[in-house]
Amino acid sequence: MSALRPYQAEALEALYAGWAAGERRLGVSLPTGVGKTHIMAHLGRREAEAGRPCLFLVHRDTLVEQTVAKLRGTLPATASVGVVKAARNEVGAQCVVASVHTLRRAERRRFLAGGRFRRVVVDEAHVSRAPTYAAVFEDVGAFAPGGADLAGFTATWSRSDALGLGDVWQRVVYHKTIQWALRQAPPLLVRPRAVRVGVGADLAGVRVSRATGDYAEAELEAAVMLEEVRGAVVQGVARHRAGRPGVLFAPTVQSAEYFGDALRAAGLRVAGWYHSTPAGERRRVDAGIRSGELDIMTTCTAVAEGYDNPALAFGVLCRPTRHEGLFVQMFGRLLRPWPGKAEALLLDAVGATLDVKLRTAVDLRVSAETTDGLGVDEPAEDEEPDEPVGRERLARVRAEDSEVALFAGTQVQWLTSRVGLPFVSCGDSLVFLCQGPGGWYVGQAADRLGPDGRPQGRWVAQGLSQEDALTLASDHAECEGEHLARRSARWRSGPPSDRQREVALSMGIVTEGMTRGQVSDAMSVAFATRVLAPFAAWSARQLQEVG
């Protein structure tokens, strides 16, 4: 049994601390490749040592075997591991790993009744809004007094559809980003790179599904199965692969095979991996990528989540997407360290990186209101997309290969205090920027002055360029902020609450005509200005001395 790394131990302790405080449904957010399954296994070990059965929910067959293997290498020798999947029904084990698809039928869920499982671990928790998960959570009493506690793990705590993860999950108690993993010594992941090849896919006429918030998959097939896109793929692979084993993502099996055939014709050894691929063939493909007998595997999203093959170092993206979580999951297949692997390179042949970046935002909003409670319906055939897509998007693509700024932009809500310092509100603290000797400083301070009337805080980083400081500060806020303000949060567009108006009025803020988000921002600016005034004065003195 290998020990937990410090950050893994912190994540596990954060879960138990939250449960001890009375919270029930808690999450952990860590990038793909830094050991979420290892934390899950140690959670199982702790439960086994306490004599409490534990249930592990996974939604892909490949994840069942991976989880079982990790548990058997971590649990005490006396603890048993059982599987509930297809013909297997080993429900009496200490740790039970269950395929969610098997639990769709009520008779397969009978073993959940009676309160036997006090802790339930949910892998890839961003998919936990599906009906079968709801049925399991109901059976184990996750929303009832005295029912089971939930621990959710995923790299992408966000969805692109109308269903909110906040309907299930109360709080993400531990959150680290890809950039954090890259800054560790040694880095926990390899450096990601992305290059756009060709002129991309013309998505004019491709509808945006109101149910998923992403492009309608059936219509993407015709948009990408074009000779100019296939030619860009073949030429881009020839220029950039450099012998690295890779994976190609396409929207459908037919489109994946369309590109795979072209790569085979160019002399590459290619095999497909899809939901319909038999287990024996999947093992052959996986082994072939690891041994070098295969060059590229083609897939849709069958390996986008949970698949663990660190030899993968090269990707080809032939699937346009507006869903940042899906993009992060696909890119995440390439980021695990492996001997001789210095970087992970993704070729974008369809212009997907015009729409998404490599960010790991946490979004625990509740579902948008709908007439049936199941999300917004698909638009009719003659309806326009929810928002314009298509040719104007391709105007930003150059014909030659171009590097992509993967971490450009930020999801967090930056505000400016009345003393001129930009800041992010992180619940009970502020992350802020100011200039000092040798460049920009990133600071973190409590959102209230101390008993002596002085600010309480620390420098996170010093002497950076303005761009690096903004990137690091945004990333630090993502990691540290349990109640982080986000520009995209849906609650911001609603009217202010009566309590919010009352507090704002006491601060001299007139709320007439303001949204809830605008009132929240005005209150945050008022609080932050008092806290940040001493830092602004310090910054002004430093700049005056330099000048």
Q: Return left, alpha or beta for 199; rule: phi > 0 is left, psi -120 to 50 is alpha, else beta.
A: alpha
Whether the CB-CB separation of 413 and 521 falls below 8 Å is answered with yes
- In this prediction, residue 389 carries a pLDDT of 45
Cα-trace Rg, the chain: 25
Q: What is the DSSP letter of 363?
A: -
The size of the chain, in residues, is: 547
- Supply angle C-alpha 4, 334, 407, rounded to 5: 90
- In this prediction, residue 395 carries a pLDDT of 47
Residues 6 or more apart from 363 whose CB is under 8 A from it? Answer: 157, 158, 159, 164, 165, 486, 488, 489
CA-wise closest residue to 485 among 457, 451, 520: 520
Whether the CB-CB separation of 363 and 486 falls below 8 Å is answered with yes
CA dihedral for 409, 413, 418, 421, sign (positive or negative): negative
Whether the CB-CB separation of 174 and 321 falls below 8 Å is answered with no
- What is the model's pTM? 0.76
Residues 6 or more apart from 384 whose CB is under 8 A from it? Answer: none
**In 10 A of CB 275, how many CB atoms?**
11
CA-wise closest residue to 201 among 405, 397, 385: 397
- In this prediction, residue 458 carries a pLDDT of 86
- In this prediction, residue 408 carries a pLDDT of 62
Q: How far are the Cα atoms of 121, 248, 512 from residue 102, in angstroms, in the given order? A: 16, 29, 53
Whether the CB-CB separation of 28 and 172 falls below 8 Å is answered with yes
Does 186 sit behind a cis peptide bond, omega within 30 degrees of 0 on the bond before it? yes
Residues 6 or more apart from 480 whose CB is under 8 A from it? Answer: 426, 429, 431, 444
- Supply angle C-alpha 405, 153, 50, rounded to 5: 150
- Hunting for tokens 């600010």 — which residue is that? 455
CA-wise closest residue to 251 among 284, 209, 210: 209
**In 10 A of CB 485, how many CB atoms?**
21
- In this prediction, residue 358 carries a pLDDT of 81
CA-wise closest residue to 345 among 182, 192, 200: 192
- In this prediction, residue 390 carries a pLDDT of 46
Where would I find the H helices in 270-357? 279-291, 324-332
Q: Domains plus CATH for the chain?
A: 6-176 (3.40.50.300), 191-403 (3.40.50.300), 414-546 (no CATH)
Distance between CA atoms of residues 366 and 368, nearest Å: 7
Distance between CA atoms of residues 195 and 344, nearest Å: 11
Whether the CB-CB separation of 331 and 321 falls below 8 Å is answered with no
- In this prediction, residue 60 carries a pLDDT of 79
> Tens-of-pLDDT digits for all 547 residues of the chain?
679 999 999 999 999 999 999 999 999 999 988 999 999 999 999 999 999 999 999 987 778 988 999 999 999 999 999 999 989 999 999 999 999 999 999 999 999 988 999 999 999 999 898 899 999 999 999 999 999 999 999 988 877 777 788 899 999 899 888 888 888 889 999 999 999 999 899 888 888 877 677 888 888 999 999 999 999 999 999 999 999 999 999 999 999 999 999 999 999 999 999 988 998 999 999 999 999 999 999 999 777 776 888 999 999 999 999 888 889 999 999 999 999 898 999 999 999 998 888 876 666 767 754 333 322 222 233 333 334 344 445 544 555 677 887 766 566 778 888 888 888 888 788 999 988 887 888 899 988 888 888 888 888 888 877 767 887 788 778 766 655 555 556 667 788 888 888 988 888 888 888 888 888 888 888 888 989 999 988 888 877 765 5
Greatest Cα pair distance in the chain: 76
Phi and psi at 266, nearest 5°, equal -85, 5
Phi and psi at 286, nearest 5°, equal -60, -45
Strand partners, 457: 445
- In this prediction, residue 541 carries a pLDDT of 85
Beta-strand relationship, 25-29 and 149-154: parallel
Exposure string (b/e) for 118-156, b if CB count within 10 Å is 16 or more?
bbbbbbbbbbbbeebbebbbebbbbeeeebbbbbbbbbb
